[in-house]
Amino acid sequence: MSISYDASTRVFNLQANQTSYMIKILDGGYLAHFYWGRKLRRQTQDLRYFDHPSFSPTPEGSDGRFTLDMTPIEYPAYGSGDLRVPAYQIQLENGSTISDLRYDSHTIMSGKPRLEGLPATYTEKDSEAETLEITLRDAVTGLKVVLSYTAFVYYDAIARSVRFVNEGQAPLKLLRVLSASVDFPNNRFDMLDLAGSWSRERHVQVRPLMMGVQSVESRRGSSSHQHNPFIALLSKDATEDNGDVYGFNLVYSGNFIAQAEVDQFNNTRVSIGINPFDFSWHLDPGEAFQTPEAVLVYSDKGLGGMSRTYHKLYRSRICRGLFRDEPRPVLVNNWEATYFDFTAEKIEAIAEVGKELGIELFVLDDGWFGKRDNDQSSLGDWFVNRKKLPNGLEDLVERVHKLDLQFGIWFEPEMISPDSDLYRSHPDWCLHVPDRGRSLGRNQLILDFSRQDVCDEIIQMLSDILSSAPISYVKWDMNRNMSEIGSAMLPPHRQRETAHRYILGLYYVLETITTKFPHVLFESCSGGGGRFDPGMLYYMPQTWTSDNTDAVERLKIQYGTSIVYPISAMGAHVSAAPNHQVGRLTSLKTRGDIAMSGNFGYELDLSKFTDEEKELAKHQVALYKEIRSLVQFGDYYRLLNPFEGNEAAWMFVGEDQSEAIVVYSRVLAVPFEPFDSLRLKGLDADADYVVVETGQQLGGDELMYNGIHTPRLHGDFQSWLLRLKRVN
């Protein structure tokens, strides 16, 4: 049994694989966080209290020793004695913001209920997990709050979410509705987060905890390039392979906050959820509000152990549909080859070379619709540009299919250009505020997906295109952040709900479209990695990792992304050299080795390849087809950190340890370079392995404990890829 309740001690013990998460009901009905870490049979020691809690209020009727300000509260409020960061806050009609939630009841059930209208982890059998729902009530307002915890049997993961129900007689306003809060009894941690910008996403950032609040957040309307909805606490002795690590990841694609507060007693409170900045939600009597889900992962095997738990859980229980377990096709995308300037003949020429190289899918990017010759018009006009494609999309798809290639297409359905037929017909369909200007980003505005009529119209437009021809892949883009966030359809007291309602509308559109077209492989994109989060992976099993395709920059981007997200979620392409983002010249081999550490493809003009380049690309495509199941679904181990030196390395190991792939890269050449070895991970120490490229036979123990000699590489930006197979 995953979840138990001891009525004598009033302690819940949630056991997820090798993890325990414990909650205690205190006298007075307060809910306290008791423990989170390696699996415990029980916890016999009680919470500790000061004899005289100076400057910390004590609840009315208490013995004077108990104060909420020093108690590890499971879902804390503000205003009744706990002076730290609250998990939630409400406002009543009289203007007050005080609430007092106490334990009412609980239920333990098999499996995991769905979250209505929101993406979340799931189970396929009830035996995979148990769920605890604890009901709290505020006696004055009638507010009911249901805390939901799912403990997974096979993963060291706890999924948490919260449901607010107004069972009172008067409306109330939700001001803050975080999904999870956890109190730790010390501050002996470093905090890791994934930060950056457009074209520099998810760089690993580590800092020691200090007194006060350390936070990452997005106020941009999406999970953002700048910060990912993830933080982790690392014990001071934690490494890639050892030590305690606690991960927090929000299954949400909009504004978020994730933070750690160290209080006056060096206790640490970590919380994560919807960003309360510019947010409120009006809750009439009888109405309910559901928070997004937070996925909490504990590892006693360092950062790598946490990552592999997230990878396996998300690959199999966040991603859904036909392509969840299917190897992803090798593709070529025409964007950096042609940008907006193409004809059907040019596209066919690129596809012909793609066929010669063994590529399986051609993707037509931006510029195929409306009057789209640049980025200044036509978003929202989802009909074929007959100037470029005079015989229509069906003709181009047929040409590509005759080459025995699948066909994919780019959309940006959430956007509208002021210069478009759709905008001229419906200027109120974009996010806007009355009497204010409408800021442009990439010459475009954002459609108001908080509106049902807008969502339904977009669903119809996309359905018409996807039904018009045999399309097997969609790249779904979103190329700007939100400004002037307001909706023409919402009353004044609900305007601060717009950003969250937009995300709910987006999820509704995605659920409808992906259900209607289950045979289509959907890839999400937001200027590259601006919305790389588990919420999007629920609908689309892969994401365009970054618009930056430079192989050297991708070392850090893909390494950082792997901290949380599975390799099967990462799109990675070989692009032109000099690179279009940074101007760097790297070899086709290095570009290929790094791109093969994800969902592999090309994004350049294949028709300009020399014969030598064609031969190398043929080899890359053939090799990737051999190893892609291992890359996309194997266990991933990080070996050398590009944020700490001149080298990067990682490897993929089969679940049965029978084969592995190692990728090593050195950025800058080193004069008179010393000899070095690379220690591998995840192999069978008692087995022997043969290096496929050389025939050399080595023991798994030797490869892991002594290492394999790294090659002597000449020049900057070099790479090395090798395959290992266990000797039977």
Q: What is the pLDDT of residue 64?
A: 76
- Let me know: does 161 contact 290? Beta carbons within 8 Å: yes
Q: How far, in Å, CA of 178 to CA of 176, rounded?
A: 6
Q: What is the pLDDT of residue 52?
A: 67
Q: How far, in Å, CA of 679 to CA of 707, rounded?
A: 4
477 is catalytic: yes
- Let me know: does 330 contact 359? Beta carbons within 8 Å: yes
Relative orientation angle of helices 344-357 and 611-633, to the nearest 10 degrees: 70
Q: What is the pLDDT of residue 425?
A: 98
Helix (H) or strand (E) holding 392: helix 392-402
Residue partners of 8: CB distance under 8 A and separation at least 6: none
Q: Please, which residues bridge with residue 718 across strands?
A: 666
Q: What is the pLDDT of residue 1?
A: 64
Q: How far, in Å, CA of 217 to CA of 258, rounded?
A: 6
- Let me know: does 652 contact 635? Beta carbons within 8 Å: yes
Q: What is the pLDDT of residue 63?
A: 78
Q: How far, in Å, CA of 16 to CA of 537, rounded?
A: 23
Tell the burial category of 207 from Cβ atoms under 10 Å away from its Cβ (0-12, 13-18, 19+): exposed
Mean pLDDT along residues 623-633: 98
Residue 57 binned pLDDT confidence (cut-offs 50, 70, 90): confident
Q: What is the pLDDT of residue 115?
A: 97
Mean pLDDT along residues 252-263: 98
Residue partners of 694: CB distance under 8 A and separation at least 6: 722
Q: Please, which residues bridge with residue 189 across strands?
A: 235
Q: pLDDT for 344-393, tens place per residue?
A: 999 999 999 999 999 999 999 999 999 999 999 999 999 999 999 999 99
Token reading at 157:
């993961």
- Closest residue by Cα to residue 119 from 514, 472, 483, 446: 514
Q: What is the pLDDT of residue 263?
A: 96
Kindly state the DSSP code that residue 355 receives in the 8-state scheme: H
Tell the burial category of 618 from Cβ atoms under 10 Å away from its Cβ (0-12, 13-18, 19+): middle
Q: What is the pLDDT of residue 405?
A: 98
Q: Which of 211-240 are b and which e, b meaning 16 or more Cβ less than 10 Å from the residue's Cβ?
A: eeebbbbbbbbbbbbbbbbbbbbbbeebeb
Q: What is the pLDDT of residue 598?
A: 98
Q: pLDDT for 699-711, tens place per residue?
A: 999 999 999 999 9
pLDDT over threshold 80, residue 620: yes
Q: Kindly name the residue from 477, 533, 550, 593 that is annotated as catalytic.
A: 477
Q: Kindly name the residue from 547, 550, 593, 684 that is annotated as catalytic.
A: 547
Mean pLDDT along residues 392-412: 98
Tell the burial category of 608 from Cβ atoms under 10 Å away from its Cβ (0-12, 13-18, 19+): exposed
Q: pLDDT for 552-579, tens place per residue?
A: 999 999 999 999 999 999 999 999 999 9
pLDDT mean across residues, the chain: 96
Mean pLDDT along residues 5-18: 96
Q: What is the pLDDT of residue 46?
A: 82
pLDDT over threshold 70, residue 37: yes
Q: What is the pLDDT of residue 51?
A: 66
Mean pLDDT along residues 28-53: 86
